Each structure stands twice: as C-alpha cells, then as structure tokens.
Amino acid sequence: MTDVRAGVEYKINVDGNSFLLDSKKYQLLESILDTGSLTESAKLVKISYRTALNYIDKIESNLQVKIVSTSKGGKGGGGGTTLTEEGYSILKECKKINAIMELHKDVNEIEAEVLAIDESKGVMTVRMSSFDVNIPLNKNYVVGDKVLALISYDNIFLMLEPQKSSIRNIIKGTIVEMRLNNEIIRVNVDVEGVNIYSDITVSAEKELNLTIGKEIYIGFKAMSVATLKL
C-alpha cells in the first residue's frame, strides 16, 4: 500500500492580507517564543539562519505586520528575537488549530450516499450501509452523491437506551471489541455491518457495565459529521 502523508498549512488573515503558514514556519515561530533567539530557533528547526530570516520577511511582507522584534546586545551579548503582539497572536491561532486537530485525530470513516436534501431545515439525509443519518446541508451535493462521512471517536456517545436530547442520530448496535489505552477505552460497535468506534473513560465503561456482545445505542449530533464528496 502507498504511504500517503498529508502536511498542514495554516491560512493566516490579517486586515485583509493572507498568507499560508506551513509547518516549518510555524515551528520557527514556536521556537522563537521558546528560545528568544532566531539563531537557536533556526538550528532547532534545521534551517539556515538566512532561510529563517527569509521566512520572517515573507510572512511580514505578505501580512504587512511585524511579527518579530530583534534587540542587539552589547559587548557581552544579551540580544535576542521575540515575537511581537501580532506574531504571538498568529502563533496562538495556529496552536488552537493544532489542539483541535489533536483532539479529533481519530475519526470514523464511513462511505454513504445522499438520499434527501432539506434546504428549509439545513440538513441532508445520508444512508450508511442500511441505516440513515442526518448531517448538515452541503449545497454542493445532490441526491445520489457518494460521500465519505467523518465522525470523531470522541463525538460518538454510548447509551443503554435512547434518550431525549439534542442528539438526533441514535442507532442500535452491538459491542464487538473493547481496548484499553491510557485510561481511555476504545469501544468498537457493529451497527448493521458498519464498525463505529467510540472513546470513553474507564469510569463511563463501569457505569454502563459494557461488555463484548452487549447491545447498546450509539448517538452523535448532525453537526459532528464532516463529509467529503467521493
């Protein structure tokens, strides 16, 4: 199988100016914050000092803001490079994106077909195997389109009985596997031939008295589902 890896770029917008910040430039800003030195940061990121300067210049010229502040030391040194308020704000936004990505890095990938579109309610109905779920409306889709539904493991809720809540997608399934990893239990639920995973705490597992072979209900909000057109 081909080894496919996806890189991350952060689209930064400042007062109508935009720039795509790749992982190297993000790491450079992060290192400047940590070390207070452009020279040391360049070494940590494994680029030359000249390349680091070029990175900074590209970001600043495209966004039309200063992102670093450099001070010169005396004979004994003492100079350094720090992030400006704008530079820190850019880094903080990138860190927020990273935190969200880390939280949702494990996702269920389920092939589905668009069955119905309700523009008045802003939702679509898609069929996954032999069961239907509601997801947010995407106006680029039409009935019959094949899509890939993505649902984070931690957005799958487990319950013993259907409950009244804001969750609109509630489906019955059977537990086929349970694995413990660092105080988190990954539960594999067979839902009409589709394996759907949920991450829960050990205390939740004990409270629900979950076991392999037990019938339970899974639930997830429509807004927790992202889709890609196949």
- Using the predicted structure, report yes or no on whether residue 105 has a pLDDT greater than 80: no
Q: Are strands 131-136 and 184-191 parallel, antiparallel or unpaired?
A: unpaired
Rounded distance between C-alpha atoms, residue 113 and residue 106, angstroms? 22
- Which residue is listed with tokens 């990954």? 186
Rounded distance between C-alpha atoms, residue 170 and residue 173, angstroms? 10
Q: What is the mean pLDDT of residues 102-124?
A: 87
**Confidence (pLDDT) at 3:** 58
Rounded distance between C-alpha atoms, residue 185 and residue 182, angstroms? 8
pLDDT band at 2; cut points 50, 70, 90: low
Q: What is the mean pLDDT of residues 40-69?
A: 94
**Confidence (pLDDT) at 138:** 87
Rounded distance between C-alpha atoms, residue 107 and residue 110, angstroms? 9
- Which residue is listed with tokens 């000092």? 49
**Confidence (pLDDT) at 33:** 93
- Give percent of the chain above pLDDT 90: 62
Q: What is the mean pLDDT of residues 133-137?
A: 91
**Confidence (pLDDT) at 39:** 93
Displacement of CA 117 from its chain's centroid (Å):
26
Length of the chain: 230
**Confidence (pLDDT) at 103:** 60
pLDDT band at 74; cut points 50, 70, 90: very low
- Using the predicted structure, report yes or no on whether residue 27 has a pLDDT greater than 70: yes
Q: Report yes or no on whether pTM surpasses 0.75.
A: no
- Using the predicted structure, report yes or no on whether residue 116 has a pLDDT greater than 50: yes
**Confidence (pLDDT) at 9:** 78
